[in-house]
Amino acid sequence: MKILITGGKGMVGGLLAEFLKDGNTVHAPGREELDITDREKAVKAITDFNPDILFHCAAFTDVDGCENERKRAYLANALGTQHVAEGCAEAGSKMVYLSTDFVFDGKKGKPYSETDNPSPQSVYAETKFLGEYYVSHLLNRFAIVRISRVFGRSGRNFSSVLPRLMKEGKKIILTDNLVNSPTYADDLVKAMSFLVEKEFCGIVNVCNRGECSWYQYGMAVKDMMGIENAELVPVKFEGFKKGQAERPRYSVLSTELLETLGFSMPGWQDSLRRYLVSGQYISSC
């Protein structure tokens, strides 16, 4: 099978390329090699490679950065995804698009299912939801995978580097009222591969089982690593929201559909422990 992965040098894209390399022809270009914001070049790159399946992992994921650079966010997350979908349509390729729990407003009070109505509250969330729109309206063969708080090897995001910051003895302020479902990148790529094997089409939530706030996540890291001198300070998001994008307070994702399909994600504590034991956080920067 010929597989093309946008954002192939990122955390999820890189792991996915490594996981799928056996028995497949995998091309995982970085942004310099495949610029999704240039429609002509993006469509040509896709049609030239002519993949059986394309995993769209490229995105501008800095939530606060999207708020400050709106044009870049819309170009990368919305129009860039449209360009990729158009390339897939021309090549006849199936597309798997990584979306986010942030498409919800967090007011439901219980886990979100795939059939709940999105209500994005930030530029990042809105642009990712627009990406969902383009994928679902331009293609017949697609999977939209909604994920949440991804952590893993080579991750530069906060959830990935937090263990290293704690080992360095830095005082860390963590919100205790932003609750969602952590997602270990290693588990995510296995689930994505499973969905392809099942020939799933539609929207599906993929995250580790369970839920936690950022403070609870930090305390779990502290306990598992035995870092007694780590200083974690719990705060409400509203207390330091100035200059930051709005975030849903409770965006836990239900994985009932994924489990019905036959794939069960581990609990987030078990996956976090595997991440810490592996020492992968040391290489995250």
Instruction: Give all domains of the chain, ordered by start, each with its CATH number.
Output: 2-156+183-209+248-266 (3.40.50.720)
Q: Give the model's pLDDT for residue 280.
A: 79
Q: pTM to 2 decimals?
A: 0.95
Q: Give the model's pLDDT for residue 59.
A: 97
DSSP calls for the chain: -EEEEETTTSHHHHHHHHHH-TTSEEE---TTT--TTSHHHHHHHHHHH--SEEEE------HHHHHH-HHHHIIIIIIHHHHHHHHHHHHT-EEEEEEEGGGS-S-SSSPBPTTSPP---SHHHHHHHHHHHHHHHH-SSEEEEEE-SEE-TT--SHHHHHHHHHHTT--EEEESS-EE--EEHHHHHHHHHHHHHTT--EEEE---BS-EEHHHHHHHHHHHHT-TT--EEEE-GGGG-TTS----SB--B--HHHHHHT--PPBHHHHHHHHHHHTGGGG--
Q: Give the model's pLDDT for residue 190.
A: 98
Q: Which amino acid is at 283?
A: S
Q: Give the model's pLDDT for residue 124.
A: 98
Chunk the chain into consecutive blocks of 10 residues (it has 285) and report each block's average pLDDT, rounded to whole numbers: 96 96 96 95 97 98 96 98 98 98 97 98 98 98 98 91 89 95 97 97 98 97 91 91 88 98 98 92 65
Q: Give the model's pLDDT for residue 282.
A: 72
Q: Give the model's pLDDT for residue 55.
A: 98
Cα(192)–Cα(201) distance, integer angstroms: 12
Q: Give the model's pLDDT for residue 284.
A: 60
Q: What letter would DSSP give residue 102?
A: G
